[in-house]
Amino acid sequence: MWKVSAYKNCLNTMEKKLSSNALNARLLSGWDTKAVSKYLDHHNHETRDGLRSLFKDPLFVPKYNISLDQERQLAYDRLKKICDSGLFSVKDFWNNPRNIFAAHEIAGMVDPSTTTKLTVQFNLFGGTLLKLGTKHHHQMLDSIDKFEKVGCFALTELAYGNNAVEMETTAHYDKENQQFVINTPTAKAQKYWITNGAVHAHYAIVFARLIHNNVDEGLHGFLVNIRDEQNLSVKEGCKVWDMGYKIGLNGVDNAALWFTNVRIPRLNLLDAHSSMDENGNFTSKIEDKSARRRKRFLVLADQLLSGRVCIASMTLGSIKLLLDQTVSLHLVLEVNSLK
């Protein structure tokens, strides 16, 4: 008797599900799906739609069981394709930063390795050059947009992370030659886990203590050429260690960087807030000397905040994709269960 009762209950449940699904289908059939999509996208629709169209290119089809070198080259090629679209620019940080965040969200649905390299190129490298640099640095922005000049962000040190108080990397000013001399004084001070650094970066924004007349003026950003732009050979005085395979994001090339008497021009100091003139006079727009080092670091690290938003946007894109796939799978399983 219980079998008959259970069978009837099963039929009733199936009937209710079919009725509910039919009702939902009728309700959804009247929706303006484009309007709903636009509402959920919220802003910068042209960029989002442009990237969605771009990602139909076969280059973005997932690839599995490929070597480390192939993964890195694939992430590079994908980012170059994205940059060639011209849908967003480093300069958007001046007037429309959400356009860059939107790009991260859509790219996060396709390839997290490519999107991580995107974050470093446009936010940490390009954005820092934009905000901490001045007109002679801004000449590089167009080539950063086009992915012709690839950069990395060398802040983190092995023993200190992002603790500015303890960082050891130095930039002594040589007044006679009007150059800064970058040095990694100890193994603890090597720049660590630097994205783009192992293979692709031509330049690094290196954060180091500016030493002038034996006075430590605190942490500053310096533009350092670490590789030849044509053949990618590592520049003299720069040592690069490839950090190899990771548990994930293997399309991202991470490195440890070490500098030994690397000389850069005086103007390679990112001088929006501090500068060194031709006569060797150091000036800072941060007037409170007692709190100067801390305030200067907060200014220097400002781009890290937008970087957090970039990463959050990338994650949001991944979550949206996961939700879409989960709902789709649920509907398939539900239909199969009713057969």
Query: What is the pLDDT tens value at each position of the chain, 339 positions in all?
Result: 444 454 455 445 545 554 555 555 555 566 677 887 888 888 999 999 999 999 999 999 999 999 999 999 999 999 999 999 999 999 999 999 999 999 999 999 999 999 999 999 999 999 999 999 999 999 999 999 999 999 999 999 999 998 877 999 999 999 999 999 999 999 999 999 999 999 999 999 999 999 999 999 989 999 999 999 999 999 999 999 999 999 999 999 999 999 999 999 999 999 998 999 999 999 988 776 666 666 767 766 666 788 889 999 999 999 998 988 888 888 778 766 766
The pLDDT assigned to 288 comes to: 64
Quick check: helix, strand or coil at residue 248? coil
The pLDDT assigned to 14 comes to: 46
Nearest to 267 by CA among 275, 257, 255: 275
The pLDDT assigned to 165 comes to: 79
The tokens for 229 are 């732009």
* Residue found by looking up tokens 């991202």 in the block: 252
The pLDDT assigned to 138 comes to: 97
Query: Contact, 210 vs 173, CB < 8 A?
Result: yes
Query: Contact, 183 vs 169, CB < 8 A?
Result: yes
Query: From CA 151, how far away is CA 196, in angstroms rounded?
Result: 7
The pLDDT assigned to 225 comes to: 99
Query: From CA 61, how far away is CA 164, in angstroms rounded?
Result: 41
The pLDDT assigned to 19 comes to: 53
Q: Which residues of 318-334 are buried (b: 16+ CB within 10 A; e: fewer)?
A: bebeeeeeeeeeeeeee
Query: From CA 197, how far away is CA 127, in angstroms rounded?
Result: 17
The pLDDT assigned to 181 comes to: 99
CB-CB neighbours of 335 under 10 Å: 12
Sequence-ordered strand ranges (E) for 110-195: 151-154, 170-174, 179-183, 191-195
